[in-house]
C-alpha cells in the first residue's frame, strides 16, 4: 500500500490539486480543501458539464414530491471563490506521470489528484433494457430524464404487475429501489388501485438489504405492505414485447410496468488509466485513508472508490474530513490518518409521510436507538417515523447550504477524531 510522501512541487508555488468530478463528493472535497489550505493550493475541478444534480431528489420526482427543476443547479456556483471549474471530458489518468489527459488532447498536471467521478449507469449491459419498451413500459429513475418519464408512466398506470428490478450490485443508494416499492404502494392506495396492483422487487441479493438486522426490518415492512421480494434474481434480459424480465438462471417475471435499476460501473476513463481501477472501473482505494493504491498522491472519494460500504451521498460526507486531512498530510509529508470507518446513513421513505433511518459502518450493523446522539438524538433509528420523513425532505436545504459548501453538520460526528486517535496510538504517542 502506498505510504504518505510529500508532493514534488516547486518550492514557494501553490500545490496543484485536481479533482475529477464536480458532483457531491468532488464539490465537498474542493470546498473543504479550499477552506483548509487557502492560497497554498490551486484547486481545479474537472467535469463534462455545469449541471449539478441533487440525486436524492430523483426518487421523489416520479411521485410528484419534487419538481425536476428544483434539484438541478450550476456546478460552478457551488464552488468557493478561487476554485476553478474546467469543463472537459476526461480521457485517462497517467498516475506515473502526474497528469490527466483530456478529451480535447490537452493535459493538466497535478501534485494531488482526487477521483470523484462517481458511478456510471450502464443500461446497455442488460439485454433488451434499451429496446422497444424503453420509456414506455420499461423505465428507470437513476437519471433526471428517466425519473421524469417514470412520473408520467405512474400517472398513466391503471393497475397490473409492477416490477422493480435491480440488475446487479453495487448501485448508487442501494435502498432506493425499496423506497420506490414503498412509495408505489402508497401511491396506488391513494389512487384506489392497490388491490389490482401486484408490486414485486427483483433483487440479486439474498434479501431486501445486505445488513442482516436491517434486512429483517425491511423485509417485514415489505411483506406487511403486500410487496413480494424475489431474491437472488440476476436480471439477464428485459423483453418488453413479451412483458417479462428473465434471470440468468431462466426464471421469468411478467410485468405491465417495469422499473429497472441499470448495471453500475466506474467512469469509463478509469479503465483506460493504468493501475487506477479494477475490472469494473472502481478506483482501488485504501478503505480507511482513502488513498488510491495506484500512487501516493492519488485519492478517491464517494461512489468512484471500491470501498466495502454503500454508495450513498452520506458516505462522501463522512469521508470528506478524512480525505481533506490526508491530502494536507500528504502535502506536508506527514503520516496519513486512518480516519474513515465506513460510516453511512440513509433515510428510507416508506410512504404515508413516514421514513426509516439506518446508520452503520464497516463493522457496525444498523441498530435501534437515536440519531445523531444515541440517547438524546431526535431521530429514531431502524423505526418508521414522520420526523424521519420530514428530516429527509429538509435535507435538500442542508445539502445546498451546509454540506456542499464544506461545513460540518452540527452534532454529526464524521469519525475523523477516532481515526486520529488510532494513528497516534499506532505511533506510540498515546496509550
pLDDT tens, 355-383?
999 999 998 888 889 998 877 789 999 99
**Is 255 a member of any domain?**
yes
Q: Does residue 8 have a pLDDT over 90?
A: no
- Among 297, 313, 341, identify where a domain stops: 341
Beta-carbon contacts of residue 412 (< 8 Å; ≥ 6 apart): 372
> 254 in a domain, yes or no?
yes
Together in a domain, 69 and 108:
yes
Q: Are residues 178 and 259 in the same domain?
A: yes
State the average pLDDT over residues 401-412.
85
Is residue 33 located within the same domain as residue 75? yes
178-206 residue pLDDT tens: 999 999 999 999 999 999 999 999 999 99
Domain that holds residue 311: 15-118+267-341
Joined grid coordinates for residue 39:
492560497
Residue 429 clears pLDDT 70, i.e. is over it: no
146 & 180 share domain: yes
Mean pLDDT, the chain, rounded, equals 91
Last residue of a domain, one of 237, 263, 289: 263
**How many separate domains does the chain show?**
2
- Residue-wise pLDDT tens digits, 126-137: 999 999 999 999
- On the CB side of 18, CA atoms within 13 Å amount to 23
Can you give the pLDDT at residue 414? Answer: 57
156 and 221 belong to one structural domain: yes
- Give the separation between CA 124 and CA 414, rounded to whole angstroms: 37
pLDDT at 387 over 50: yes
Neighbours of 369 (CB within 10 A): 15
pTM for the predicted model, two decimal places = 0.92
- Tens-digit pLDDT profile for residues 37-74: 999 999 999 999 999 999 999 999 999 999 999 999 99
Same domain? 103 vs 131? no
Residue where a domain terminates, one of 305, 325, 341: 341
Task: For residue 97, tell me if it sits in a domain.
Answer: yes
What is the domain-level CATH number for residue 203?
Answer: 3.50.50.60
pLDDT category at 212 given cuts 50, 70, 90 is confident
CB 421 within 8 Å of CB 430: yes
Kindly give, in sequence order, each residue whose CB lies less than 8 Å from that of residue 314, ignoring residues fewer than 6 positions away. 343, 344, 345, 346
Same-domain check for residues 82 and 194: no
Whether residues 229 and 285 fall in one domain: no
Question: Quick one: pLDDT at residue 114?
Answer: 98
pLDDT above 80 for 410: no
pLDDT above 70: residue 386: yes
CA distances from 356 to 57, 144, 221, 347, 386 (A): 17, 24, 10, 6, 9
68 and 105 in a single domain? The answer is yes
Size of the chain in residues: 431
299 close to 308: Cβ distance less than 8 angstroms: no
Say whether both 189 and 221 belong to one domain. yes
Q: Is residue 385 part of a domain?
A: no
Res 12: pLDDT: 56
**Statement to judge: residues 134 and 246 lie in one domain:** yes
Q: Are residues 246 and 163 in the same domain?
A: yes
Q: Once rounded to an integer, what is the mean pLDDT over residues 239-260?
A: 97
Amino acid at each position: 500500500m502506498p505510504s504518505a510522501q510529500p508532493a514534488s512541487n516547486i518550492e514557494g508555488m501553490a500545490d496543484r490539486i485536481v479533482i475529477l468530478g464536480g458532483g457531491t463528493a468532488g464539490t465537498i472535497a474542493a470546498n473543504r480543501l479550499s477552506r483548509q489550505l487557502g492560497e497554498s493550493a490551486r484547486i481545479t475541478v474537472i467535469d463534462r458539464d455545469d449541471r449539478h444534480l441533487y440525486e436524492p431528489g430523483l426518487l421523489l420526482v416520479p411521485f410528484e414530491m419534487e419538481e425536476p427543476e428544483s434539484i438541478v443547479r450550476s456546478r460552478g456556483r457551488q464552488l468557493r471563490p478561487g476554485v476553478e471549474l474546467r469543463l472537459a471530458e476526461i480521457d485517462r489518468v497517467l498516475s506515473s506521470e502526474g497528469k490527466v489527459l483530456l478529451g480535447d488532447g490537452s493535459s493538466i498536471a497535478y501534485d494531488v489528484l482526487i477521483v470523484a467521478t462517481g458511478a456510471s449507469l450502464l443500461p446497455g449491459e442488460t439485454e433488451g433494457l434499451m429496446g422497444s419498451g424503453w420509456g414506455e413500459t420499461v423505465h428507470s429513475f437513476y437519471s433526471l430524464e428517466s425519473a421524469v418519464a417514470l412520473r408520467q408512466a405512474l400517472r398513466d398506470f391503471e393497475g397490473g404487475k409492477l416490477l422493480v428490478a435491480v440488475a446487479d450490485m453495487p448501485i448508487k443508494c442501494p435502498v432506493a429501489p425499496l423506497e420506490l416499492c414503498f412509495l408505489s404502494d402508497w401511491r396506488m392506495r391513494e389512487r384506489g388501485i392497490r388491490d389490482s396492483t401486484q408490486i414485486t422487487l427483483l433483487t440479486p441479493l439474498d434479501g431486501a438489504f445486505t445488513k442482516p438486522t436491517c434486512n429483517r426490518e425491511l423485509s417485514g415492512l415489505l411483506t406487511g405492505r403486500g410487496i413480494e421480494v424475489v431474491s437472488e434474481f440476476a436480471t439477464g434480459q428485459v423483453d418488453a414485447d413479451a412483458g417479462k424480465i428473465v434471470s440468468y438462471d431462466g426464471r421469468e417475471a411478467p410485468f405491465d410496468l417495469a422499473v429497472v435499476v441499470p448495471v453500475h460501473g466506474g467512469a469509463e476513463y478509469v479503465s483506460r488509466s493504468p493501475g487506477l481501477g479494477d475490472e469494473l472501473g472502481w478506483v482501488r482505494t485504501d478503505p480507511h485513508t482513502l488513498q488510491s493504491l495506484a500512487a501516493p498522491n492519488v485519492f478517491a472519494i464517494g461512489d468512484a472508490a471500491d470501498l466495502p460500504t454503500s454508495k450513498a451521498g452520506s458516505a462522501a460526507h463522512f469521508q470528506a474530513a478524512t480525505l481533506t486531512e490526508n491530502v494536507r498530510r500528504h502535502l506536508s509529508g506527514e503520516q496519513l490518518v486512518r480516519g474513515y470507518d465506513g460510516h453511512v446513513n440513509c433515510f428510507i421513505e416508506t410512504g404515508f409521510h413516514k421514513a426509516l433511518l439506518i446508520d452503520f459502518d464497516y463493522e457496525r450493523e444498523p441498530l435501534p436507538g437515536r440519531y445523531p446522539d444515541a440517547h438524546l438524538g431526535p431521530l429514531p433509528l431502524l423505526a418508521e417515523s414522520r420526523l424521519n420523513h420530514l428530516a429527509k425532505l429538509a435535507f435538500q436545504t442542508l445539502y445546498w447550504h451546509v454540506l456542499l459548501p464544506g461545513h460540518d453538520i452540527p452534532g454529526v460526528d464524521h469519525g475523523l477524531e477516532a481515526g486520529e486517535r488510532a494513528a497516534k496510538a499506532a505511533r506510540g504517542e498515546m496509550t
